Amino acid sequence: MTQAPDMPRLVVEVAFTSGANLGTALHLDDASRGRLGTGTLAAGDTWVEVSADVKVPAITTRRGSTRVESPLVRYEAGTGTVVLDDPDQRFDPTNLSGPYVSGGRSQVTAMRAVRIRAVWNNTAYPLFRGFADSWDLDWGPTTATVSVPCTDAFKALAAKRRSTGMPVGDGEDIGARIHRILDSAGWPAEDRLIGTGSTALQATTLEGDPLAEAQLAADTEIGELYADAEGRVRFRGRMALLTDARSAVSQATFGATPGVVELPISTDDAQLYNEVKITRVDGVEQIVTDPGSMDEFLPHTFERSDLLMTTDAEAASYAAWILYISSEPEVRFDKIVIYPRRDPAVLWPQVLGREIGDRITCVRVPPTGGSPVIRDSFIRGIEHEIEGQRWKTTWHLQSATKVGSFLTLNNATTGRLDFNALAY
């Protein structure tokens, strides 16, 4: 795979010898496993680079949410696809004479760990890490390729089923609960980055699907739960949008220069809710409404009855938060499409380095003149599509106009008592 000089070098690697479980092995070029004193030295062949075999066009990755249609953002399992040339059948699972065979068994199997990185200006940026779903052979008359679809950590968590245990963890915060869930699923401590939450939870019996339970806990917090570009399960509580610098302050501005990005304006009612009904498990339904909005736009109801907060007062505050950010239609940007080769020095560090939850500023200037449309947004999904010498990055966005506007003391933008609502 040869790439233009104004494009990053793509690095694709597969852990053929160790499979899905890399344990605590030390990898010097890995942010979470590359800390001396925290793991044992890995064998040199743990990761096998297959970049030279990548066929052009070759790679797509998708992480996070693909469309924000609710005040609660549900992050999907991340996926990636790599297409490999296979003239010597080294990536053919039926070939027991290839280089990836041990003890008479092919190591070209599902659930091998796969990671994709991009090297730009001597910095390696992670794009995706997950597990091979399959090795799909495509044999033409004279050529052979193998397509390798992959899915991130959410796949592994969703595949496990746990037996019912005694109730534990009554009153613990969301971060502690997610640690408990990941422990029960056997998910490595090295592959998680879990913050604290602001909501106390009811007890759990740690039964069933670990991913579903962790997502329900995150929904109860109105937090973020996703697998990051390094394959770590990551959680941030709702206050992180106001306290973490990457979310509280815009990290970059896009759209001011015509022709570099695509920035469609959305004006639909997908995120309009003027009647909110929240019931915690074993609780009393809490209802809040905006009569003026209901009269003007007709009723739009948001309802949840499965949340795990410990008090009805917390459920009422939750409902009020949803109503505050959702009671009116909003002019917003719901995605931005970036072509980084149009301004390589500026755009490559942005498209490779941004993460879910980062705050950006989008600007759209009307072609006939007039005031520009300027909005801050949070990145909620990240897609990369690499087709030959063409690289397109899409970020799916959530407006920060209300979500990121709650009162934050000592903040120049959100610290004004007469302008910013009190966060819950």
Higher-pLDDT residue of 416, 340: 340
Please check whether residue 244 lies inside any domain of the structure: no
Asked whether residue 140 falls in the same domain as residue 25, the answer is: yes
What is the Cα–Cα distance from 422 to 197, expressed in whole angstroms? Answer: 17
Higher pLDDT, 34 or 215: 215
Q: Please report the pLDDT score of residue 100 as a whole number.
A: 96
Amino acid at 216: L
Lowest mean pLDDT among 24-33, 57-66, 163-172, 326-335: 24-33
pLDDT for res 296: 98
At residue 38, the pLDDT reads 46
Q: What is the amino acid identity at position 273? A: Y
Residue 218: give the domain boundaries: 157-238
The Cα 98–Cα 115 span in angstroms is 22
136 and 168 part of one domain: no
What pTM did the predictor assign? 0.90
Phi-psi group of 231: left, alpha or beta (phi > 0 → left; psi -120 to 50 → alpha; rest → beta) = left
Say if residue 22's pLDDT is above 70: no
Least confident window among 32-46, 246-260, 268-282: 32-46
One domain, residues 162 and 282: no
Averaged pLDDT of the chain: 91
**Cβ–Cβ under 8 Å, residues 288 and 276:** yes
Question: Is residue 70 domain-shared with residue 47, that is, in the same domain?
Answer: yes
Give buried/exposed letters for 89-112 (b at 16+ CB in 10 A, else e). bbbbbebeebebbeeeebbbeebb
The more confidently predicted of residues 424 and 189 is 189
**417 pLDDT above the threshold of 50:** no
Lowest pLDDT segment from 39-48, 260-269, 369-378: 39-48
Evaluate whether residue 404 is within a structural domain: no
Q: Are residues 395 and 255 in the same domain?
A: yes
Residue 6 has pLDDT above 70, yes or no: yes
pLDDT at 81 over 50: yes
Report, as an integer, the average pLDDT of 126-155. 97
CATH code, 385: 2.40.30
Both ends of the chain: CA-CA distance in Å? Answer: 51
Residue 139 lies in a domain: yes
Instruction: Tell me the β-bridge partners of 398.
Output: 378
Q: Are 138 and 37 in a shared domain?
A: yes
What is the domain count for the chain?
Answer: 4
Closest CA to 117 of 57, 65, 49, 23: 49
pLDDT on residue 334? 94
Question: Is residue 298 located within the same domain as residue 197?
Answer: no
**Backbone torsions φ then ψ of 226, nearest 5 degrees:** -155, 170
Residue-wise pLDDT for 160-204, tens only, equals: 999 999 999 999 999 999 999 999 999 999 999 999 999 999 999
Task: Answer yes or no: is 226 within a domain.
Answer: yes
Does the residue 95 lie in any domain? yes
Write down the pLDDT at residue 69: 80
pLDDT of residue 416: 53
Taking Cα atoms as reference points, which of 153, 308, 159 lies closest to residue 234?
A: 153
- Whether 78 and 19 share a structural domain: yes
Whole-number pLDDT of residue 423: 65
Residues 299, 338 within the same domain:
no
How far is residue 279's CA from residue 285's CA, in Å, rounded to a whole number? 4
In a domain, 410, yes or no: no
CB 361 within 8 A of CB 250: yes
Q: Could you tell me if residue 60 is inside a domain?
A: yes
At 33-64, the pLDDT tens digits run 555 454 544 444 489 999 999 987 679 999 99
Q: Are residues 16 and 123 in the same domain?
A: yes
Same domain, 231 and 260: no
Query: 358 to each of 28, 120, 147, 241, 351, how far by Cα in Å?
Result: 27, 20, 32, 9, 12
Same domain, residue pair 340 and 199: no
Evaluate whether residue 420 is within a structural domain. no
